[in-house]
Chains A and B, each alone.
Chain A
Amino acid sequence: MSAPTITQPGVAASQPLRKDRMRAGDTKPAWLFIAPFALFYVLFLIWPTIYMVVASFFNTSIVQEGFGSFAGFGNYQEMLTRPEFWSAMWHTLQFTIYTTPPLVVLAFLFAILANRVRRGQALFRLAFFVPFILPSAAIALIWNFIYTPASGLLAVVQGWFGVEAPSPVLGTPSIAMVGIAVTTVWWTIGFNFILYLAGLQDIPRELYEAAALDGATPWQQIRWITIPMLSRTTTLVVLLQIIASLKIFDQVYLMTGGGPGIATEVALGLITTSAFTDFRVGAASAASVLLFIVIVIIAVLRQLIDRAQERRA
């Protein structure tokens, strides 16, 4: 049975039999099937969200009973007037800007290249995907070694090219975030790569054959067949990537701890520190609500842009 049967009365009326059956006997088992998931969903998502919104208006401390004294908009005022909060929000955005374009474009490029390889395709697929299955802790260790000032891999390579005393990547405020972004691109490109590869293999070969007969160059084939045929995949990849990048936490926590200074402190880092190290759940909740609003705005904006594009097309 399809979703419209339930939500659209007009359609449902034309299928009275099904609808009746739904009402009479099926809803109970349906609810039972949903229940285990719903329980966890309410317990670990809905309830914490409500708690977060409520706590954001109180001086809630993790080591005190209850919500604590009423703060009104005090927590929001503190966050909105606090330079560290804005810098953390900016760093989150900065990371998203640094990582999303390469993770989409490079994944697309590598997928096309890997798809064209005739021999050893499995090896290339594996090579691009393997970093993704490593835990963030392992990634952080590998890249911390690469970035080690003076004796790390990068410093040695820079030495070959005559760069003496290169700035330590993770120790220099202006480039630390770039270092983390490069790490992340290497780490997570495999996921987008696989999505694109799957999309590529769904494109019928006949299209390319027909285009080749008409004299289309390989570049023209990519431009007029591959890219349009993959537009749905691209939409998905971009959305997933933006959301994933806005959730940046692990790499920063493990590689720089937000440093040097607060040069790489991101929104989730600030929230975690406020809630669990400073014990200030109220203030952290206010910051979470603000981040939540930003993510909703970005998601809605993207949806609107998408719709506008579809209408044009």
Chain B
Amino acid sequence: MTFWNLFGGGDGARLQLMLDQYEQEQGGSDALQAATFAWGNPYYTKVSLATLGDKPPDVAVAHATRATNLARAGLLTEITEDVLASVGLSSTDFTPKVWESTVLDGKAYAIPLDTHPFVLFYNKTVCRDAGLLDADDELVPIQGTEQWEAALAAAKEVTGAYGASVATVSETATPWRFFQTLYSQRNGSTPFLSDGGTELTFDEALVADTLAYLQGLTGSGLMPQATDYAGSQTLMFTGQSAFYLQGEWEITTAQSVEGLEFGMVPVPTLFDQPACQADSHAFVLPTMERSPDQLERAMGFVKSMLDQSLAWAEGGHVPAYLPALRSPEYAAMEPQSDYAEAADYAVYDAPAWYSGSGSNFENIVGAQIGLVMQGIASPEEAIASMRSQLGTYARTADPLS
């Protein structure tokens, strides 16, 4: 049984515990060979080439937004109800929204594990001093840009450095997630891409305005202009900023910081409606000649992982497996259950052969957003660059069909 994934950091450590559990069930460490590869395009390139070269793993992890492209390229085995039933599962065991995201032309190609929304972390010590917590020591809900900026300003007073931090340097995914969260909160925001990526359909005025807003937050010193992924965390962990925005998976890193009191909530609704950028991790079965035995073993592994959904949820992810999501144990998990609602208004990246988590689309758009937040590019320059680069992809014949 071979299994490939792209989980680093806290996710990687959490996964290892689940894999150990599986090995124990199977009676020995010979039962499983798991390999972790570099996140994003390098991982999907590897999975694609291995499948084309007829040496794929039995099971691999894929983002929901990437799995559909792998399926269109003919690289995935269909997940039929029969296949699910062989380990006592059914498509109704999963959050409908997540399940739907893995379906292509009425056929499912992935078994979802979770939803991972972009959320707001807050340092309780700093927020308490800034008067941002209620009597229960929870963050007082923030609504609208005015309250948001006031909260950041109050926090900045306490920290002496920043109000909130988000990665802008050497990162494309994070700036995109932050931007997409705020852009999707606005009335009239249209999907970035349509018609399978052949049309660029973002609302230019709204994008420009949202970018200008982000630039204002960093330009005024409420947020840092230049900080990388690790740096943005360190700022919040060490009390130099009150808030930190990132995917919920960083909960593991935050928990490992000694003496840090923190909480997590959905990203506040700064504009018209609640929304947050998200994706889902799912299991896929790469195309290969499988004996019924091999298929059963692969599905047995997937089932074992799903059964450990609560362990996975400890790492921050919102389970997609309903028995876990609806369990009282999950409801009792703090701060996991505080932001679980974010999965309900999760916004996935627009489908296109070049889009999805860690894709060319995110790289192109995220890089420009990062430059805007660093104050190096103006919103207009960033939009022109996005248009020109995305235009090449939009005009290119889809290599998957």
Binds B, one of A77-85, A97-105, A200-208: A77-85
CB contacts (< 8 Å) of A148 on chain B: these are 228, 230-231
Question: Using a CB-CB cutoff of 8 Å, which residues 65-93 of chain A contact chain B?
Answer: 78, 82-84
- In the complex, the answer to whether A279 meets B389 with C-beta atoms within 8 Å is no
Contact with B along A164-186 (1 / 0, CB 8 A): 01011011110000000000000
**A56 interface hit (Cβ, 8 Å):** no
Given contacts A259-B367, A277-B360, contact A171 B400 (CB under 8 A): no
Given contacts A276-B49, A279-B48, contact A167 B226 (CB under 8 A): yes
- In the complex, the answer to whether A168 meets B399 with C-beta atoms within 8 Å is no
State the CA gap A230–B286 with chains docked (Å): 57
**B74 interface hit (Cβ, 8 Å):** yes
Given contacts A173-B376, A277-B44, contact A150 B170 (CB under 8 A): no
- In the complex, the answer to whether B170 meets A260 with C-beta atoms within 8 Å is yes
- In the complex, the answer to whether A149 meets B45 with C-beta atoms within 8 Å is no
- In the complex, the answer to whether B400 meets A260 with C-beta atoms within 8 Å is no
- In the complex, the answer to whether A277 meets B41 with C-beta atoms within 8 Å is yes
User: What distance in Å separates the Cβ of B394 from its nearest Cβ neighbour in chain A?
Assistant: 13
CB contacts (< 8 Å) of B371 on chain A: these are 173, 260-261
In the complex formed, the residue of B with least CB distance to A254 is B38
Instruction: Tally A-B pairs: CB < 8 A.
Output: 93
State the CA gap A38–B328 with chains docked (Å): 68
**A151 interface hit (Cβ, 8 Å):** yes
CB contacts (< 8 Å) of A165 on chain B: these are 226
CB contacts (< 8 Å) of B397 on chain A: these are 59
Question: Among A150, A259, A260, A283, which residue has the most Cβ atoms of chain B within 10 A?
Answer: A260
User: What distance in Å separates the Cβ of A183 from its nearest Cβ neighbour in chain B?
Assistant: 15
- In the complex, the answer to whether B399 meets A63 with C-beta atoms within 8 Å is yes
State the CA gap A131–B161 with chains docked (Å): 39
In the complex formed, the residue of B with least CB distance to A257 is B363
State the CA gap A256–B171 with chains docked (Å): 9
Given contacts A276-B45, A276-B49, contact A63 B73 (CB under 8 A): yes
Given contacts A59-B397, A63-B74, A259-B172, contact A171 B374 (CB under 8 A): yes
In the complex formed, the residue of B with least CB distance to A63 is B73
- In the complex, the answer to whether B75 meets A149 with C-beta atoms within 8 Å is no
State the CA gap A156–B375 with chains docked (Å): 23
Given contacts A84-B392, A173-B376, contact A150 B400 (CB under 8 A): no
Contact with A along B367-392 (1 / 0, CB 8 A): 11011001010000000010011001
State the CA gap A172–B170 with chains docked (Å): 9
- In the complex, the answer to whether A63 meets B360 with C-beta atoms within 8 Å is no
**Interface residue tally for chain B (C-beta within 8 Å):** 38
Given contacts A63-B400, A84-B392, A260-B169, contact A149 B385 (CB under 8 A): no
- In the complex, the answer to whether A168 meets B169 with C-beta atoms within 8 Å is yes
In the complex formed, the residue of B with least CB distance to A276 is B45
User: What distance in Å separates the Cβ of A120 from its nearest Cβ neighbour in chain B?
Assistant: 39
CB contacts (< 8 Å) of B234 on chain A: these are 151
Contact with B along A287-311 (1 / 0, CB 8 A): 0000000000000000000000000
CB contacts (< 8 Å) of A280 on chain B: these are 396, 399
- In the complex, the answer to whether A149 meets B228 with C-beta atoms within 8 Å is yes
User: What distance in Å separates the Cβ of A62 from its nearest Cβ neighbour in chain B?
Assistant: 6
- In the complex, the answer to whether B170 meets A168 with C-beta atoms within 8 Å is yes
In the complex formed, the residue of B with least CB distance to A272 is B45
CB contacts (< 8 Å) of B170 on chain A: these are 149, 168, 170-171, 256, 259-260
In the complex formed, the residue of B with least CB distance to A263 is B367
**B121 interface hit (Cβ, 8 Å):** no
State the CA gap A148–B376 with chains docked (Å): 19
Question: Among B371, B374, B388, B399, which residue has the most Cβ atoms of chain A within 10 A?
Answer: B399
User: What distance in Å separates the Cβ of A131 from its nearest Cβ neighbour in chain B?
Assistant: 23
Other-chain contact of B360, A78, A259, A278 (Cβ < 8 Å): A278
User: What distance in Å separates the Cβ of A84 from its nearest Cβ neighbour in chain B?
Assistant: 6
In the complex formed, the residue of B with least CB distance to A150 is B231
- In the complex, the answer to whether A149 meets B226 with C-beta atoms within 8 Å is yes
28 contacts between A and B (CB under 8 A): A59-B399, A61-B399, A61-B400, A62-B48, A63-B48, A63-B52, A63-B75, A78-B392, A78-B396, A83-B389, A84-B389, A149-B170, A149-B227, A149-B228, A165-B226, A171-B168, A171-B228, A172-B376, A260-B370, A260-B371, A261-B367, A273-B360, A276-B49, A277-B44, A277-B45, A278-B354, A280-B396, A283-B396
> What are the 6 A-B residue pairs with the smallest beta carbon separation, nearest first?
A171-B169, A61-B399, A63-B73, A261-B367, A279-B399, A276-B45
Q: List chain B positions with a Cβ less than 8 A from chain A.
A: 41, 44-45, 48-49, 52, 73-75, 168-170, 172, 226-228, 230-231, 234, 353-354, 360, 363-364, 367-368, 370-371, 374, 376, 385, 388-389, 392, 396-397, 399-400
- Given A84-B392, A168-B170, 17 more pairs with CB closer than 8 A: A83-B388, A149-B228, A167-B226, A168-B228, A170-B169, A171-B370, A173-B371, A257-B363, A258-B363, A259-B172, A260-B169, A260-B370, A262-B389, A273-B360, A276-B49, A279-B73, A283-B396
Q: List chain A positions with a Cβ less than 8 A from chain B.
A: 59, 61-64, 78, 82-84, 148-151, 165, 167-168, 170-173, 256-262, 273, 276-280, 283
